[in-house]
């Protein structure tokens, strides 16, 4: 069941950022930067998969995700909740349970045997599907999942994530061009502000992170 009273959007962002820090899903290191899947170096890394091991944090974030989607898309906007393989699957299951909706999941690519399916579970033509993932960077993987959903004849115009990078303008442009709205609880800017408020990292590290957020393409380790 979804509680009927929730904080405002900016407070949800602050609380979500705080929970990500508390669960040690947030990693900042300017001296030994992380290598992202794109090959870029960055002083930031986030591991939302950790959240499934923290029941109270997990529950609060899923409540926030459900209410954010219902506020921004509507209370009766969906018929099916789909998780993206693999990180989105547990969060999709939790959202589907709260919203009392069927749950499916989308493979990154066909299995290569059996039915060679990308969609697991029951998804039918005309269903309005919400794609749930853990995070969004530039939106590329979301569009692959959305296309797999649309190939079934279902509709997918919304995706919901716990965390969106919030530093790549092309993400919203790419999703918007395909008619997909993104719903996210917080971004790196919210995490940086909360990390400063909590004193979670030293100021030198936070300054390096802020410099990266302002210019991710041009950032270089000091």
107 assigned ligand-binding residue: yes
108 assigned ligand-binding residue: yes
CB neighbours of residue 49 within 10 Å: 14
135 assigned ligand-binding residue: yes
104 assigned ligand-binding residue: no
134 assigned ligand-binding residue: yes
Using only C-alpha atoms, the chain has a radius of gyration, in whole angstroms, of 18
111 assigned ligand-binding residue: yes
140 assigned ligand-binding residue: yes
CA distance 193 to 16: 12
Tokens 């992202």 belong to which residue?
36
139 assigned ligand-binding residue: yes
The length of the chain in residues reads: 222
133 assigned ligand-binding residue: yes
Tokens 């989607």 belong to which residue?
69
CA distance 220 to 56: 37
138 assigned ligand-binding residue: yes
Tokens of 75: 């209370």
The secondary structure of 22-75, three-state, reads HCCCEEECCCCCEECCCCCEECEEECHHHHHHCHHHHHHHHHHHHHHHHHHHCC
Residues flagged as binding site for orotate: 137
Residues flagged as binding site: 107-108, 111, 133-141
Residues flagged as binding site for 5-phospho-alpha-D-ribose 1-diphosphate: 107-108, 111, 133-141
């Amino acid at each position: 069941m979804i509680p009927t009273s929730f904080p405002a959007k900016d407070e949800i962002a602050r609380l979500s950022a705080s929970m990500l820090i508390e669960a040690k899903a947030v990693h900042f290191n300017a001296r030994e930067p992380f290598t992202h899947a794109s090959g870029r170096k960055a002083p930031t890394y986030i591991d939302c998969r950790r959240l499934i091991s923290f029941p109270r944090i997990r529950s609060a974030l899923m409540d926030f995700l459900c209410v954010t989607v219902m506020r921004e898309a509507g209370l009766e906007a969906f018929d099916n909740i789909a998780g993206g393989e693999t990180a989105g699957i547990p969060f999709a299951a939790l959202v589907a349970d709260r919203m009392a909706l069927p749950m499916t999941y989308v493979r990154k690519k066909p299995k290569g045997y059996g039915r060679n399916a990308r969609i697991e579970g029951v998804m039918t033509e005309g269903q309005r599907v919400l794609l749930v993932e853990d995070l969004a960077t530039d939106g590329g993987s979301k569009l692959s999942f959305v296309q797999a959903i649309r190939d079934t004849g279902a509709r997918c115009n919304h995706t919901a994530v716990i965390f969106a990078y919030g530093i790549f303008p092309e993400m919203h442009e790419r999703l918007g061009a395909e008619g997909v709205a993104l719903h996210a609880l917080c971004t790196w800017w919210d995490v940086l502000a909360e990390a400063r408020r909590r004193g979670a990292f030293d100021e030198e590290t936070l300054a390096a992170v802020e410099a990266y957020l302002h210019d991710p393409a041009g950032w270089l380790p000091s």
